Amino acid sequence: MEEAKDWASGNYLRTFFVMLLLSNSISRPGVFWTATKNILMEDILHHQRQITNIPNLELDQKELEKICLSHIENLLQTNGSSLKYFDDMPNVEENYLSSLNNRLLLKELSYDRTVVVELVENGDGGRGLCDGCEKTVKVQKNKKKKMKK
């Protein structure tokens, strides 16, 4: 995997990973997954930004892993297998892949979590977030009123 990452695409590497799983070439798939997951999910954020047309989309490591595992699960299922058949491999929720390309959901997940933590930790208990929401709602209401006139 380490050598192939220099010349192969992410899709190819995930397909290669699945071929190794299906051929029982890996004695401990979970250990191999842990060692190679960063290589396998290297291009996923870029693809998700293209799919959703959200150029500043940010996903945390766990979300990227779930997406990568979903792609692997799809490849396994097309070959009559599943991540469930590999004891030490992590699994992914069944409906995760269907919600994967839900643009609204991804937009919600792409907020800057460090800013939220800072707002909450600064002693206002997240009040700054609520104020921002209230301002947005007021602006939207004012726009609607002006449009009716």
Mean pLDDT, rounded, of the chain: 79
Q: Quick one: pLDDT at residue 142?
A: 61
Query: What is the dihedral sign for C-alpha 16, 87, 73, 90?
Result: negative
Q: Quick one: pLDDT at residue 15?
A: 94
Please choose, from the candidates 18, 19, 21, 71, the residue with its C-alpha nearest in 3D space to the C-alpha of residue 41: 71
Q: Quick one: pLDDT at residue 48?
A: 84
Phi/psi at 140 (nearest 5 deg)?
Answer: -65, -40
Tokens describing residue 1 = 């995997």
Question: What does pTM read for this prediction?
Answer: 0.66
Q: Quick one: pLDDT at residue 59?
A: 84
Which residue positions in the chain have pLDDT lower than 50?
137
